[in-house]
Structure 1
Amino acid sequence: MVLIVISAFLIGTFIYIGNVSTEIFQSLVFGNEPVTGINQFILYSLSTVYTILQTTIIYLIFNKLLKRVSKNSKLLIAFIISLISISGAGLVTYLNTSSSNLLSFLSLILLSTGLLSIIFAILSFVFAKRKITGVNIITSIAVFAITIATCALFIILSVFSGLEKMNIQFFSNVNPDLKISPAKGKTIPNLDEMIQKLESNPQIVAYSKVIEEKVSIEYEDKQDIAYIKGIDENYTNVVRIDTTVVGGSYLDFSTPNQILTSDGVARRLQMYTDLRYGAKLSMPKPGTGLITNADEAFNSAVATSVGVVFINDQYDKYIFSPIELTQNLLQLPKNSAYSLEIKAKPNTSLNSLKKTLQSNLGNSVVVQTRQDLDATFIKVMNVENLIIYLIFTLVSTIASFNLAGAIIIIIIDKKKQIKSMWSFGMPKEHIKRIFFQTGLLITVSSILFGLVLGSIIGILQQQFGLVMANPFVAFPFEFTVSNFLVVILTVLAIGGGVSYLVSRKLPS
């Protein structure tokens, strides 16, 4: 258990050194420029070299320079070094009011020196003058391998659970509670009648008319294909899209010729907030016949970008506009919409409301809940989760080969004792059971150590964001009972199966 805690502390220290040194080297070498390609490789190489160099120096100090010092004295020296280093790091951080890179680097050196000194001193204390045999080494390797496999399986499942929860939350923030679409065609039939039925339903808080279609967008000398989503003034009562604006302002609906671009479209076109020069939007004209020029083939309009929204990858190719603009581009009447998006009252059963609306509105429309809209995404996430689980189950199976080796070595080491028990009349099945239980004990201990190590790393990730998904968001870590049970049952089944099969083979 002590080794598991030390390992978690050591891993956390390495991650901290790596992350902070990467930020400092990036600022020192590349400034505020974005780092990609070969520069990114150089940056990570510098961080890795620094981490290895500092770790090697601390190792040499405690295992070469202080080799003849007693373990108690070595531990005392480590605590003194750590106290001085960490205090110095705190003082440098306090004085570093101008965020100087050199002072930040000095603070990192002092703090990491203190942390690594404690770790290596404790390791020296734990392993000092301990009798080590071949059986101990093989058994320790088996415990370590299964512990790491268990820890890795638990971490990857927990991170994946966190990512799934975070993505579902992102989708929930931009998807309505319910959506009504036409069963055939694109426009909703009998729109006024549908709206009257929605207004009479006490479970519905708000609704919004929406038109969504592909559009060609040109700005200066750049062009992109995007999805334009025409919305009315009531849309923010259904989906709080206005809270995702990161630049400029939300649509004011004073004129139809304005758009709100997603971050992806804005980056590709280099078009952020521009009230002077508009972007040209084009859509193919409906109808048949020969086309003699571009004007006959497309409906076009010029719209100014009033703001930029940042939502998620699903909306990376979207622009938002007043519904009038999309109606004009598609040559639709003013009282028309492709869909109706609905906000239900809190604590309303969406499935129950879906059935009620489907019954009231008839078969000419299709009613979908938020879960129906996210069904494809959820299926993809489940498939990815299953594939990752199978991969790490294979890793755990490979790690269990060490357990098989450990049990075989124990059987060979105890060959004389086995013959003695046999000669005293102990049944062969009972002897086999002893080695099966030994393998099971190694497996259970490794599972506990792995779960403790994984939980410590998870807590550190939640509190300090040791590993970042992007410069602003850390990888989420979600503790769930199902993940604990899946890990325990999987590793226990693999370890138990290996222990049972190997314990069947006793020397004659």
Structure 2
Amino acid sequence: MSFPFYIARRYLFSKKQHNVINLISGISVVGVALATLAMVCVMSGFNGFQDLIGNLFTAFDPQLELVPTQGKVMAEDDPSLVAVRRNNKVAAATNSYEDNALILFKGRPLVITLKGVDDNFTKTSEIKNILYGQGQYLLRRGNLNYGIPGYNLALQMGGLNFGTLQICVPKKGEQINLANPIENINVDDLTASGICFQVHQQKYDDNLMLCSLPFVQGLYNQEGCITKLELKLKGGVDEQVAKKELQQLAGPRFRVLDRYEQHEETFNVMQIEKLFAFAFLTFIVLVACFNIIGSVSMLIIDKTKDISTLRHLGATNKQIVHIFLFEGWLISFMGAIIGIVLGLILCLLQQQFGLLKLEPTGGGNFIVDAYPISVHVLDIVIIFFTVIIVGFLSVWYPVNYLSRKSMDLQA
């Protein structure tokens, strides 16, 4: 143990001549601890919401998705896509075609997203786990095409048994004739299946209509074309390793996306919000560290005689300055440790008992009753070093200045 650190530790825990110094030191530790606790809880809260949304996406979205790098459609019999489907890491593959369409329901036009899938869709997604209603999962039977709407879309159409819908899309490569728009529009019918799905995401529940792939391809005049190839990997296969292998197999004309990349915009917004919250809380830690400056400043005044004694015993000016720098660092360290421990305890209690409810009165319509919490080890490490660095930097200049001034007065 170095000499300055030993003295700083003794000063931190020993009784001072003025009790107010002990009080200020205690307040400094508490201030840093509370700021650290807030950082742990807020960052874990952001992680909880991100993990919650990620879990919701997995109920509908594929594990991996292959899309063209240029344009919107690709040939379903493309050799690269065939090679991807035959890869030994792929358990199932689904061809899908997704685009906007217009439905006419009782004379009311409504823009929706039409998603056509083949028979393997139930193997690449968990669609059957989020279905509601008395009907069965069925997209096509004979000449009839069935549509499965999102929950909120079904509500807009008056319920699950909406009868038959007219689906309208512009003909490919043609401009709308305003005098007679029907000439440039493809129209076909979808029949109610008696069921709907609910993902708890507006993107799906409000606008998406699920139907068969041949129906959508014919409606858009895109026979043999798809917009996505959705993949499910075999059990035990590392997703990121498989993603790299499939990307090499697909080539530069295609992109292989995992679930987070499929919703990159949503998660980027959440990351930006988390970053701003972290910066704001770091500023609060900096404000809390001002108490450390006051504590160390009072300690320097209180230990004026000790400084003189240490100089006569051979301590250098640098060692004396380091004593008070270590004093400030120890206060930051104690505050960080206490704050992280208390923060982790609060997070654990929230996870187990849901102390903080999303809707205290119980009248809300939320996916979960309490705020979701997810503690990430990397976040805890970053918070710890942030508090330590901010605490050290905040006292570095004041301690250097006050220590040298005190020694100059004694000289």
TM-score, length basis structure 2: 0.78
Partner of 1:337: 226
> How far apart are residue 327 of structure 1 and its match?
2.7
If asked which structure has higher relative contact order (CA below 8 Å, sep 6+), I would say 2
Partner of 1:307: 195
Alpha carbons of structure 1 residues 302 and 408: separation in structure 2 relative to 1, 3 Å: same
User: What's the secondary structure of 2:226's corresponding residue?
Assistant: coil
Alpha carbons of structure 1 residues 327 and 400: separation in structure 2 relative to 1, 3 Å: same
1:69-119: per-residue Cα shift (whole Å, max 9, x none)?
xxxxxxxxxxxxxxxxxxxxxxxxxxxxxxxxxxxxxxxxxxxxxxxxxxx
Say if 2:24 is the partner of 1:138: yes
For the 8 Å contact 1:271–1:305, the answer to whether it is kept is no
For the 8 Å contact 1:204–1:344, the answer to whether it is kept is yes
Partner of 2:113: 227
Partner of 1:318: 208
Map residues 183-202 of structure 1 onto 2, 5 A cutoff.
Answer: 185-189=71-75, 191=77, 197=83, 200-202=86-88
- Say which structure is richer in helix: 1
RMSD: 3.2
Say if 2:279 is the partner of 1:393: no
User: Which of 292, 310, 319 is residue 403 of structure 1 equivalent to?
Assistant: 292
- The number of residues matched between the two structures is 373
Say if 2:146 is the partner of 1:258: yes
Say if 2:210 is the partner of 1:210: no
> How far apart are residue 133 of structure 1 and its match?
4.0
Alpha carbons of structure 1 residues 423 and 203: separation in structure 2 relative to 1, 3 Å: closer
Partner of 2:366: 471
> How far apart are residue 155 of structure 1 and its match?
1.4
> How far apart are residue 184 of structure 1 and its match?
5.1
For the 8 Å contact 1:350–1:369, the answer to whether it is kept is no
> How far apart are residue 152 of structure 1 and its match?
0.8
Map residues 224-373 of structure 1 onto 2, 5 A cutoff.
Answer: 224-255=110-141, 256-267=144-155, 269=156, 271-275=158-162, 277-288=163-174, 290-303=177-190, 304=192, 306-313=194-201, 314-316=203-205, 317-333=207-223, 335-350=224-239, 353=242, 366-370=254-258, 372-373=261-262
For the 8 Å contact 2:76–2:95, the answer to whether it is kept is no
> How far apart are residue 351 of structure 1 and its match?
5.5
For the 8 Å contact 1:354–1:367, the answer to whether it is kept is no
For the 8 Å contact 1:400–1:495, the answer to whether it is kept is yes
Gaps of 5+ in 2: 1-17, 359-364
> How far apart are residue 174 of structure 1 and its match?
2.7
User: What's the secondary structure of 1:174's corresponding residue?
Assistant: coil
> How far apart are residue 491 of structure 1 and its match?
0.6
For the 8 Å contact 2:138–2:193, the answer to whether it is kept is no
Aligned partners of 2:229 and 2:31: how far apart in 1?
55
Alpha carbons of structure 1 residues 173 and 420: separation in structure 2 relative to 1, 3 Å: same
Alpha carbons of structure 1 residues 237 and 416: separation in structure 2 relative to 1, 3 Å: same
For the 8 Å contact 1:281–1:302, the answer to whether it is kept is yes
For the 8 Å contact 2:124–2:232, the answer to whether it is kept is yes
Gaps of 5+ in 1: 1-131
> How far apart are residue 387 of structure 1 and its match?
2.6
Q: What letter matches 2:393 in structure 1?
A: G
TM-score, length basis structure 1: 0.65
Alpha carbons of structure 1 residues 361 and 140: separation in structure 2 relative to 1, 3 Å: closer
Say if 2:376 is the partner of 1:488: no
For the 8 Å contact 1:161–1:477, the answer to whether it is kept is yes
Map residues 160-175 of structure 1 onto 2, 5 A cutoff.
Answer: 160-175=46-61
Map residues 14-163 of structure 1 onto 2, 5 A cutoff.
Answer: 133-163=19-49
Partner of 1:123: none
Alpha carbons of structure 1 residues 430 and 373: separation in structure 2 relative to 1, 3 Å: same
Aligned partners of 2:69 and 2:338: how far apart in 1?
55
